[in-house]
Structure 1
Amino acid sequence: MLDRDWFDQGVPLIEELFGNRQVMVAKRRYQGFHRQGLMANGQDWFHQRHIVAPHFMGEKLKGFFGYMVECSKETMKELHAVIGSGEREVEIGQYMTKLTADIIARAEFDRNYDMGEKILHLLERMQDLTAQASSHLWFPGSRFFPSKYRKEIKELRRKVEKGIMEIMENKRENEELGRSPSSRKEGLLQVLLSESEKKGNKDGFSYTQQLIMDEIKTFFFAGHDTSSLLLTWTIMLLATNPSWQERARSEVVEVCGQAPLSIDHLSKFTLLQMIINESLRLYPPATLLPRMVFQDMTLGDLHIPKGLSVWIPVLAIHHNKELWGEDADEFNPEGFAGRSFAQTRNFLPFASGPRNCVGQAFAIMEAKIILAMLLSNFSFTISKNYRHAPVNVLTLKPKYGVPVYLKKHI
């Protein structure tokens, strides 16, 4: 961890650290949660990023809009049915988890939520166990000793990879038989399978079957977990700040009018973007970002030797009063008025530099769509049963969920 003196002067240096190509992702003990994927470095990372990144940009990104709206409509119907049955209180996090998992499954892996549900639950259990790793005694070579904890991790990984293998084989069979609908957008799974059929580039990199499975685990889990948390925390903040909720709803009505939500509307949701940013500031999904230098380097007057791990305390930076003002712990979206991600150097929900989150544009587009549709359909207030207890389980989660009172918006 960075000491206090370095932290006080360190925000500009953190940007330099993120942008330095002598820095790689530190390999934390994820116990097989994703063995390569985001943990790749050097030329392997460069080639993976080159293949995956274009899938979340430009026209390909716009192609996900239909899936997001379709899945969101189904969730709105479910919520209308719940309150229509007389229920007022819903734990909104459960619905956001299912919705974002449905979107990533349909958009990227040509599957609906039901078919990926088993894999998702297994990955969530792996996340819980991985988060417990710090409470286990560790010493050199300890990972080779048998234990109930490691046995369960191993069995979960086996089941996850078996399920993913079935999805991959099913996809290949459908392609060979010509059953894949030509009208559907090419998902990430298809991109990876196509790459695996190539012989490799001049540096010898190619997508192996294991690497594809690691990528799918990473994107299926991270692609829904961080997004569902962004939505859940944002709904909590709007439920406890009714004036901001009403302002956001008014913006949606003003931008869309009587027309259905379209992709052109999203860039006009200025206030909604400020609210999303503020939610990410107060409750960043990743509270710490690990980095490791693989060559000696200098940041300011600080010498960092090769092999040293540096942990960037995102949550502490986002709540620092010298950076954000005396109300740094309060919900105040006005702090983002007129600011973009690029202009806010101390705002790091998606990291920064060449290794920033490849799916951040996907996540923001998804959040705008879902929140706009939720605001159009419902008003909501926080339940008296809500207990504010953020807990860090690899990502920052509400320990007891976020129960809200829903009311159909007229």
Structure 2
Amino acid sequence: MAMVIVTSILVIFVTLVLKVGYDTISCYWLTPMRIRKTMEKQGVNGPKPSFLIGNIREVASLVSTAVSQDMKTISHDIVARIMPHFVVWSNQYGKRFLYWNGTEPRLCLTDTALIKEFLSKYNSISGKSWQQQQGNKHFIGKGLLMVNGKDWHHQRHMVAPAFMGERLKGYAAHMVECTKDMLQSLQNSLESGESEVDIGECLTELTADIISRTEFGTSYKKGKQIFFLLTQLQSRCAQATRHLFLPGSRFFPSKYNREIKSLKKEVEKLLMEIIKGREECVEKGRNNSYGNDLLCILLDEMKKESGNLNLQLVMDECKTFFFAGHETTALLLTWTVMLLATNPHWQNKVRAQVKEILKGETPSLDKLSKLTLLHMVINESMRLYPPATVFPRMVFKDIELGDLHIPKGLSIWIPVLAIHHSKELWGEDANEFNPERFASKSFIPGRFIPFGSGPRNCVGQSFAMMEAKIILAMLISQFSFTISQSYKHAPVVVLTIKPKYGVQVCLKHLDP
């Protein structure tokens, strides 16, 4: 009997070892070879990948060289600086080429018709790859940005009410009050003799304050603590993802991994305190619901659907919306102010329309839609400096896309920045600031995609646009601003496009 048990255990052990061995070989060699041969037969080639690391080394070298030199003038021709590998390889291999992010194959796709078809038609069988999910596991976990298939559909359905109708309107008051505080702070700085400010820092603090209030309501002070911790966590996770191509790298006892786990623990401790506080109030009958902020909507929807709370999922969604709702909007505002500061003609035009429509009052939702010039300027800012430089989506089944057969396991790499700066799509002035191009509503499908496209577009885009318009309208009503001589134009990428040295502007308070 004992012999039978031992033999059974050995058989199970050997089977598991063989399976793990085969899965590893398949992941790191067989599948990549299959995909590469499939694409080569269709005439799609690219730089030769190295074992395990793919083309990571070439990308890192090209980017390092490109960003090591600061730009001598304020130029928006930044594709070669931010995505030098795209420029080199598209010139060498054409508009379609294959390159490797470690063992993950990526097909560069710039054909706007195929991009529109892919994003609208294949949402259910494409999504975030294993590498992307692992790279963000400790940052935003299994929040909406990182899940696929049925999980994505379920979570999108759960969070969508937070960004619709009356809920969306309810956030406007928070945005106005927080912006008033920032404007008063700027006025105080001017009165104390400081005319130059890093507007990026001011806008980052402002959007952190707004998302803290709209997401956590009365617990916004803890929300601001979470913001600072998440900023550090984002940076550490970005550094750790560089080593994901190494098998088991996420388990290494490295400095990054230790710091990541420590920061994640602190963030989730604060989030749990807020959630538990809401639960206690409901259980003791002090409140009928969890509140009226973003967190309450998550808790109410989850309780309604399943009857119990998945606390880890709630925390992951909170972190997701804190990141997406804060950083991308802060950068959108920062780049827009920089563009208006260097284009006083447009600043004056926007200010004149804002004054005409608002008549000295704070922005109301019914009047925001009438600020057409501001809307054009914001769109042009997102075209030149999009919130996301690329959209990578892996296909989980073989698909047919135009004249291409896309095999399972291949990521479609959509270079948003390059598409937004394409002279073929936008004309010879593609690298110039020209909001007039958005005066017409006739767009080539797929050429302007700052928030993505199709079912998986950004669920919070209405929130972001409303916030940007309120803040910019209030700022431009009270202050004029010019770019400081100390400003150095040096866009860099850390997940999003950021100004390396900040954006310094000289402020002047306008007479009432």
TM-score over 0.5 for the pair: yes
Cα deviation, residue 198, structure 1 = 4.1
Q: Confirm or deny: 8 A CA contact 1:17 1:23 kept in the other structure.
A: no
1:194 corresponds to 2:300: yes
1:119 aligns with 2:199: no
Alignment pair present for 1:257 and 2:347: no
Q: Identity of paired residues, percent?
A: 57
Q: Name 2:66's counterpart in structure 1.
A: none
Cα shift readout 1:258-285 (whole Å, capped 9, x = no counterpart) = 4442211100010100000000001111
Whether 2:369 is the aligned partner of 1:267: answer yes
* Structure 2 residue identity aligned to 1:110: G
Q: Distance in 1 between matches of 2:220 and 2:111?
A: 43
Q: From the superposition, tell whether residues 112 and 82 of structure 1 become closer, same or farther in structure 2 (CA, over 3 Å).
A: farther
8 A contact 1:131–1:394 mirrored in 2? yes
Segments of 5+ residues of structure 1 without an aligned counterpart are none
Report what 2:53 is aligned to: none
Higher Rg: 2
Q: How does 1:209-288 map to 2 (within 5 A)?
A: 209-288=311-390
* Secondary structure of 2:95's aligned partner: helix
Q: Is this contact kept in 1: 2:109–2:413, CA < 8 A? A: no
Letter in 2 for 1:16: E
Question: Counterpart of 1:186 in 2: which secondary structure?
Answer: coil
Query: Is this contact kept in 1: 2:479–2:508, CA < 8 A?
Result: yes
Q: TM-score, normalised by structure 1?
A: 0.93
Moved more, 27-36 or 40-49: 27-36
Please give the TM-score of this superposition, normalised by the length of structure 2. 0.75
Structure 1 pair 63–327 and aligned structure 2 pair: CA distance change class (3 A): same
How far the C-alpha of 1:8 sits from its partner, in A, is 7.8
Count, aligned residues = 404
Counterparts of 1:352 and 1:15, CA distance in 2: 7
> Is 1:146 the equivalent of 2:253?
yes
CA shift for structure 1 position 312: 1.0
- CA change 1:181–1:228 in 2 (3 A) is farther
| 1:163 alignment counterpart | 270
Q: Given the alignment, which residue of 106, 116, 127 partners 1:24?
A: 127
Question: Residue 111 of structure 2: which of 4, 10, 30 is its match?
Answer: 10
Amino acid at match of 2:268: E
Q: Which residue of 2 aligns with 1:384?
A: 485
In 2, Cα distance between equivalents of 1:325 and 1:14:
20
Contact 2:298 2:314 in 1 (8 A): yes
Provide the rounded CA distance (Å) in 1 between the counterparts of 2:360 and 2:245.
60
- Distance of 1:344 and 1:301 partners within structure 2: 18
TM superposition shift of 1:115: 2.5
Instruction: Quote the Cα distance in structure 2 between the aligned partners of 1:25 and 1:160.
Output: 24
Give distance in 2, aligned partners of 1:364 and 1:332: 19
Q: Is the 8 A contact 2:338 2:483 kept in 1?
A: yes
* Residue 9 of structure 1, CA deviation: 6.2
Asked if the contact 1:63–1:185 (Cα under 8 Å) also holds between the matched residues in 2, the reply is no
Which of 63, 72, 80 pairs up with 2:187?
80
Deviations 1:329-387 (A, max 9, x none): 111111111227x7653111101110000000000000000000000010001111111
Q: Measure the CA separation in 1 of the matches of 2:112 and 2:94.
A: 12
Which of 286, 290, 294 in structure 1 is aligned with 2:396?
A: 294
From 454, 467, 474, give the equivalent of 1:373: 474
Change (3 A) 1:186 1:177: same
2:460 alignment counterpart: 359
Note the alpha carbon deviations across 1:143-181, whole angstroms, 9 max, x for none. Answer: 222111111111111111111111111222344456669
One-letter amino acid matched to 1:388: H
- For 2:325 and 2:244, locate their aligned partners in 1 and report how far apart those are by CA, in whole Å: 31
Given candidates 331, 341, 348, the residue that maps to 2:449 is 348
Q: Secondary structure at the match of 1:110?
A: helix
Alignment partner of 1:303: what SS? strand
Q: Pick from 175, 183, 198 the counterpart of residue 68 of structure 1.
A: 175
> Aligned residue for 1:130?
237
Larger relative contact order, structure 1 or 2 (CA cutoff 8 Å, min sep 6): 1
Unpaired segments ≥5 residues, structure 2: 1-85, 97-107
Alignment match, 2:27: none
Please report how far the alpha carbon of residue 104 of structure 1 lies from its aligned counterpart in structure 2 after TM superposition. 1.2
8 A contact 1:192–1:207 mirrored in 2? no
Counterparts of 1:100 and 1:179, CA distance in 2: 31
For the residues of structure 2 that align with 1:179 and 1:403, how far apart are their CA atoms? 48
Which aligned pairs between 1:311-322 and structure 2 lie closer than 5 A? 311-322=413-424
Q: Distance in 1 between matches of 2:456 and 2:109?
A: 24
Offset at residue 74 of structure 1 (A):
1.1
Aligned partner (choices 67, 79, 93) of residue 200 of structure 2 = 93
In structure 2, the CA distance between the partners of 1:138 and 1:23, relative to structure 1 (3 Å rule), is closer
Q: C-alpha displacement at 1:295, in angstroms?
A: 1.2
Note if contact 1:105-1:111 (Cα within 8 Å) is conserved in structure 2: no
| SS of aligned partner of 2:136 | coil
Question: Contact 2:357 / 2:370 at 8 angstroms: preserved in 1?
Answer: yes
Q: 1:9 to 1:199 in 2, by over 3 A?
A: closer
> Any idea what SS the aligned residue of 1:292 has?
strand
Superimposed CA distance per residue, residues 166-211 of structure 1 (whole angstroms, 9 cap, x where no aligned partner) = 11112223444566699x972121112223434629xxxx751100
Q: Cα distance, 1:214 vs. partner?
A: 0.3
Cα distance in 2 for partners of 1:90, 1:179 equals: 45
Structure 2 contact 219–274 (Cα < 8 Å) conserved: no
Superposition deviation, residue 84 in structure 1: 1.2
Decide whether aligned partners of structure 1 residues 246 and 322 sit closer, same or farther in structure 2, where only a CA change above 3 A counts: same
Partner Cα distance (1:199, 1:245) in 2: 48
TM-align CA RMSD: 2.2
The 8 Å contact of residues 280 and 349 in structure 1, kept in 2 or not, is answered as: yes
Distance 1:199 1:262, change over 3 A: closer
